[in-house]
Structure 1
Amino acid sequence: MNTIWKGVLGVALVAAVGSGAAIGTSAYMMNHQQYLVSGDSTSNVFSQPVRMVNYASVAAENTDFTMAAESAVHGVVHIMATQNADESASQRQYIDPFEYFFGFGGGGSFQRPKAQPRVGAGSGVIISTDGYIITNNHVIEGADELEVTLNDNRKFDAKLIGTDPATDIALIKIDAKDLPTIPFGDSEKLKVGEWVLAVGNPFNLTSTVTAGIVSAKGRGISLGSGDKSKIESFIQTDAAVNPGNSGGALVNTKGELVGINTAIYSETGSYAGYSFAVPISIAGKVASDLKQYGTVQRAVLGVQIIGVGDIMDQLSMPNVPDKYKEELKGMKENIKVSEGAYVAEFADRSVAKEAGIEVGDVIISVNGVKVKSANALQEQIGKYRPGDKVTVKVNRKGTEKSFEVQLKNAQGSTKVVTPSDGTELLGGAFKALTDKEKREYGVSYGIEVTGLTNGKLKDAGIKKGFIIMVVNNQRVKTPEDLEKIVDDILHGRAEDQGLFIKGFYPNGRTKYYAIDLAE
């Protein structure tokens, strides 16, 4: 499939190593909720009192929100994020005109303006009685100081536990006890048309509650600059959300947390009819990973997908080039369902392909949960961790087939990744050269860069397909060899502070790269 045309189609890279569009892992959120709220000390991640909920119950017909609102406002906090002024940058950017033209100051009376700190505000949700708080990454990104104000006006300094830009979720903590929490609900059981409340601090107005209905689920809105590492499967509502609401709670009429308010659709920057929340099925799993491991344990399925609906929409567009319209028609011939995620291609190392899934299959469910679109598949895989096994059901030209797939991480393993993990820092996936490849390249060892995410390798200019031969004068025969070199540096077991990499591209061009790991 033509690369440029993929962008036109909006191909969602579902955990395809090399794109960074990882689709995450762990049925622990909904299938094993004990890791969030259980009293079992071996699985309890966040300290919350156990609250049993009868999901057979029906929301009050008179849509009385008072109990839900009263419960939720105490679990939502105001966050003040301060980025200290960079005095040196201010000095560099400001030029005294007297000094510039005449070489002397203005008689000592001219004062350079003092750089001012940048202050932003947002919301957060208390998810643990001992002070863990979920918010948005964009609320706290770049902040040097974080101040949390509770609903009872108590103020605390907060520390950052971890962030995940891919889902725009962050976890912070304050030193407090016996805090009110909002119990986790089940975002997958939300229905379009169901009433929800948005609780937050818009325009620095504390404890504000607005109501609306769920307008759509699994919505993708292309946040940012088209970064394909983003995982977008939002709950769309018409509850009024404005600047300052980011990181606040979306709750159902039972007062349960079902999402983290994240974005609005607006041409003015203020509420214009629709708001979007990260489902708690994703946000809760991300927060749990950040607490346990310091980074998200993101699993990958290893497929490139296009929503069935997107294919049909593109076919109906008048300006589609004939060449690609034929390609779309070829896809359509394989599709016998109206919803799902069409498998367009595989990653270099794809667990889906290994399990028996084929190009042209339409993924229609994961572990029994219906998949209606590419975004919905992102959400489902986003709940799992590497090593988890999922049942993926596909429709293959009208016949349904099920496959058991063991998910892996972007590096092709099931091991836990930590913030200090060398592979995570480099942002690459690797594999040892096969005997056939060694013969083709005329070498006896080496590892191939099979995929890249945001990290040191990508920053240095290394491209997918690069063959690493030598790092810091050491031969590299396996991915484990590279990991050991990096880990030795990170843990002070080596004199080197960076990597000097020698290798070549399949076209025979030799390249050298220097990477500073201390930056």
Structure 2
Amino acid sequence: MVPTSFVDLVQHVKGAVVNVFAAQVVRGGLPNPFGGPWGAVPDRIQRSLGTGFVIDSEGYVITNNHVIEHASDIRVQTSSNEEVSASVVGLDDRTDVALLRISARNLVAPPLGDSDALQVGEWVVAIGNPFGLSQTVTAGIVSAKGRTGRDVPIDPAGYYNFIQTDASINPGNSGGPLFNMRGEIVGINTAINAAGQGIGFAIPINMVKQILPQLRTSGRVTRSWLGISIQSVTRDAATQLGLPEPKGALVVEVFPGGPAASAGLRSGDVILEFDGQAIRDSSELPWLASTAGVGHIARLDVFRGGSQRQIQLRLVEMPPQRR
């Protein structure tokens, strides 16, 4: 059923949406060593804008990491036009999430919903600051779920499981909330230079809820690690390996001294399940492994040499160079 109006929903939640303004000092260059009339290039201020949303009465605000990354000054404008300074509490570039804190009056904080419960075809509403046009409301449906780094042109090192929507999302919307029709926040809108028009992507709020406690307490996310590099199983690879269909994560490299090496995992193995959860695509495994927890005993279902076997291993903390 198509909603006749979004007025009540917007009036209820718009107070949580804030504009985020970030400024970064970009150092100028050195004078030309061969001489010339201009001398050194002066420093300049690079500005960016985005959106964020309040998550509690204590003034915590979520936005995208790329909106405020490297910023020397961050300002937040609330829905009541109060502009305040924001401090960075925590950052996680792998999920593109940043946690800020502000001191402002009359903050509104809608509930965080369950993005896993979203259904394709469900109505959603985005509120943001596209091109500096604050409190812009757009609506659409959930077009697809589970879009990965393979589907979306974005940093392949990140952990992504995007919600795709046809609600209009443009530069400046980044970091803003995606609401379901109950007024719950189900995603963080992320402006991406997608090839097509009318395609927007949002980070599922359940992914954010998993890392939020660590961002609050330590400012960063500690991740667990298998100690392997992987790639997707293509149809040709599945045929060569004897897999009935292309699924799972193909182990490309096993890092010496890591958990996988100690447990006997080999290059050429295909991981089909992690702790009983099927791996449909290789992009699903890094998130499962990284959030299971340091010290967790993981159970892997592995396809090797035409047969399936179980391997158990104890996860360790991800080395800094792998984060």
- TM-score range (shorter-chain normalised) is 0.7 to 0.9
2:84 pairs with one of 127, 138, 156: 156
Would the aligned equivalents of 2:147 and 2:162 in 1 still touch at CA under 8 Å? Answer: yes
Higher relative contact order (CA 8 A, sep 6+): 1
More strand by share: 2
1:374 pairs with one of 273, 277, 282: 282
| Structure 2 CA distance for aligned equivalents of residues 192 and 365 of structure 1 | 25
| Structure 1 CA distance for aligned equivalents of residues 67 and 228 of structure 2 | 32
The answer as to 2:68 corresponding to 1:127 is no
Change (3 A) 1:362 1:154: same
Would the aligned equivalents of 1:341 and 1:374 in 2 still touch at CA under 8 Å? Answer: yes
Match of 2:213 in 1: 288
| Structure 2 CA distance for aligned equivalents of residues 185 and 124 of structure 1 | 16
2:203 pairs with one of 269, 275, 278: 278
Change (3 A) 1:354 1:337: farther
Match of 2:98 in 1: 170
Match of 1:74 in 2: 15
Match runs of 1:194-205 below 5 Å: 194-205=122-133
Match of 2:146 in 1: 217
| Structure 2 CA distance for aligned equivalents of residues 402 and 70 of structure 1 | 53
Secondary structure, counterpart of 2:67 in structure 1: helix
Secondary structure, counterpart of 1:284 in structure 2: helix
Q: 1:422-455: per-residue Cα shift (whole Å, max 9, x none)?
A: xxxxx4xxxxxxxxxxxxxxxxxxxxxxxx448x
Would the aligned equivalents of 2:87 and 2:100 in 1 still touch at CA under 8 Å? Answer: yes
Match of 1:347 in 2: 255
Q: 1:126-166: per-residue Cα shift (whole Å, max 9, x none)?
A: 12220111111110122111111111222211011222222
Which shows bigger deviation, 355-364 or 233-242? 355-364
Secondary structure, counterpart of 1:288 in structure 2: helix
| Structure 2 CA distance for aligned equivalents of residues 68 and 399 of structure 1 | 53
Match of 1:229 in 2: 157
Paired amino acid for 2:154: L
Change (3 A) 1:113 1:239: same
Shift of 1:273: 2.4
Q: TM-score normalised to the size of structure 2? A: 0.82
| Structure 2 CA distance for aligned equivalents of residues 345 and 96 of structure 1 | 51
Which shows bigger deviation, 76-85 or 141-150? 76-85
Shift of 1:202: 0.7
| Structure 1 CA distance for aligned equivalents of residues 26 and 253 of structure 2 | 47
The answer as to 2:167 corresponding to 1:239 is yes
Change (3 A) 1:90 1:154: same
Secondary structure, counterpart of 1:124 in structure 2: strand
The answer as to 2:183 corresponding to 1:255 is yes
Would the aligned equivalents of 1:336 and 1:398 in 2 still touch at CA under 8 Å? Answer: no
2:110 pairs with one of 157, 167, 182: 182
Secondary structure, counterpart of 2:183 in structure 1: coil
| CA RMSD in angstroms, aligned pairs only | 3.4
Would the aligned equivalents of 2:112 and 2:185 in 1 still touch at CA under 8 Å? Answer: yes
| Structure 2 CA distance for aligned equivalents of residues 335 and 152 of structure 1 | 58
The answer as to 2:318 corresponding to 1:407 is no
Match runs of 1:436-475 below 5 Å: 452-453=321-322
Shift of 1:368: 4.4
Paired amino acid for 2:211: V
2:231 pairs with one of 291, 295, 306: 306
Would the aligned equivalents of 2:224 and 2:292 in 1 still touch at CA under 8 Å? Answer: yes
Would the aligned equivalents of 2:167 and 2:200 in 1 still touch at CA under 8 Å? Answer: yes
Query: Gaps spanning 5+ residues in structure 1: where?
Result: 1-60, 101-111, 316-327, 412-426, 428-451, 455-519
Change (3 A) 1:407 1:205: same
Secondary structure, counterpart of 2:131 in structure 1: helix
Q: 1:329-381: per-residue Cα shift (whole Å, max 9, x none)?
A: 7x642323443323333222343454565544433443444432122223333
- Identity across aligned pairs (percent)? 34
| Structure 1 CA distance for aligned equivalents of residues 300 and 106 of structure 2 | 42
Q: 1:450-484: per-residue Cα shift (whole Å, max 9, x none)?
A: xx448xxxxxxxxxxxxxxxxxxxxxxxxxxxxxx
Shift of 1:81: 0.8
Would the aligned equivalents of 1:265 and 1:272 in 2 still touch at CA under 8 Å? Answer: no
Secondary structure, counterpart of 1:374 in structure 2: coil
Secondary structure, counterpart of 2:217 in structure 1: helix
Shift of 1:84: 4.2
Secondary structure, counterpart of 2:224 in structure 1: coil
More helix by share: 1
Number of residues of Structure 1 aligned to a counterpart in Structure 2 = 318
Would the aligned equivalents of 2:20 and 2:76 in 1 still touch at CA under 8 Å? Answer: yes
Paired amino acid for 1:287: L
Would the aligned equivalents of 1:335 and 1:362 in 2 still touch at CA under 8 Å? Answer: no
Shift of 1:124: 1.0
Paired amino acid for 1:169: V
Change (3 A) 1:196 1:401: farther
Change (3 A) 1:116 1:211: same
Paired amino acid for 2:249: A
Would the aligned equivalents of 1:233 and 1:378 in 2 still touch at CA under 8 Å? Answer: no
Q: 1:235-286: per-residue Cα shift (whole Å, max 9, x none)?
A: 222221001001111232322222212232435xxx8222222222332333
Shift of 1:219: 1.7
| Structure 1 CA distance for aligned equivalents of residues 78 and 46 of structure 2 | 22
The answer as to 2:113 corresponding to 1:192 is no
Paired amino acid for 1:223: I
